[in-house]
Chain A
Amino acid sequence: SQQGEEDPQALSIQEGENATMNCSYKTSINNLQWYRQNSGRGLVHLILIRSNEREKHSGRLRVTLDTSKKSSSLLITASRAADTASYFCATAGYSTLTFGKGTMLLVSP
């Protein structure tokens, strides 16, 4: 069953601005992962944060995890037009990987 819920559903910004997407989930997790999907394509793994971690960085990406609030955020700094895509959080249990509804990000030049 779907567990993650991303917020906002859609986000439109200008190049150079930062984009923040949030994800909330309902049950306990082993880890939380963020993925990116270009229209009609497969998913690209961006970052994985374990349940005992609070923050992780990868290039222009910053992910936080608050297990007490069952929420995570993905920050993309200095956005580029090429960052335009849908972004999904996925929560990993013992044997499942379930996705939220996603945030559609549009970065205008």
Chain B
Amino acid sequence: GAVVSQHPSRVICKSGTSVKIECRSLDFQATTMFWYRQFPKKSLMLMATSNEGSKATYEQGVEKDKFLINHASLTLSTLTVTSAHPEDSSFYICSARGGAVDTEAFFGQGTRLTVV
């Protein structure tokens, strides 16, 4: 299957700093990328959907100014957690889809963010 690379896999940062997570589709052009957040032993919560070249669509309850999403190219999307706080500690996973809604999405390996 197609490969989606997410980086970094783990990050520990101080409260108040910003963290950027990258999601790259390595062998296909990702027209749509999804960002999810997962709490321990819980399901994936969709945070936002982004299409290349346009603004991300955020789910209800997700702060746009806190979780900045950029999808500047067909192979790269970034999620920046701004002014991180301990409650932002979580597992963040990106997903990329190269075609229409009827195609599968491929997932990165996730980023474990710990804010201390």
Which A residues are closer than 8 A to B by beta carbons?
1-2, 30-31, 33, 35, 40-45, 48, 50, 88, 92-102, 104
Q: B residues touching A (Cβ–Cβ < 8 Å)?
A: 1, 4, 6, 32, 34, 36, 41-46, 49, 51, 57, 59-60, 91, 93, 95, 97, 101-110, 112
Q: How far is the CB of B110 from chain A (nearest CB, A)?
A: 5
Give the total number of A-B pairs whose CB atoms are below 8 A apart: 68
Interface of B is mostly: strand
A31-B101, A45-B105 known; A1+B59 contact, CB < 8 A: yes
Complex interface: chain B residues within 8 A of A42 (CB): 4, 6, 93, 107-110
User: Measured between alpha carbons, how far is A48 from B106 in the docked complex, in Å?
Assistant: 12
Residues in chain A near residue B110, CB distance under 8 A: 40-42
A88, B93: Cα distance in complex, Å: 14
Supposing A45-B1, A97-B34 touch, asked if A40 and B91 sit within 8 A by C-beta, the answer is yes
Q: How far is the CB of A9 from chain B (nearest CB, A)?
A: 10
Q: A42-B6, A42-B108 are in contact. Are A95 and B91 (CB under 8 A)?
A: no
B21 nearest CB across to chain A (Å): 13
CA distance A17 to B66 in the complex (A): 46
The answer on a CB contact under 8 Å between B102 and A50 is yes
Q: A46's closest neighbor in chain B, by CB?
A: B104
With A42-B107, A45-B106, A101-B43 known, 18 other A-B pairs at CB within 8 A are A1-B60, A30-B101, A31-B101, A31-B102, A33-B104, A40-B91, A40-B110, A42-B93, A43-B107, A88-B44, A92-B101, A94-B101, A95-B51, A96-B49, A97-B46, A99-B36, A99-B45, A102-B43
What is the minimal beta-carbon distance from A43 to any residue of chain B, in angstroms? 4
B95 contacts which chain A residues (CB < 8 A)?
43, 97
Q: Which 10 A-B pairs have the closest CB atoms?
A: A42-B109, A43-B107, A99-B44, A42-B107, A101-B43, A45-B104, A42-B110, A30-B101, A99-B43, A102-B43
Contacts of B107 in A (CB 8 A): 35, 42-45
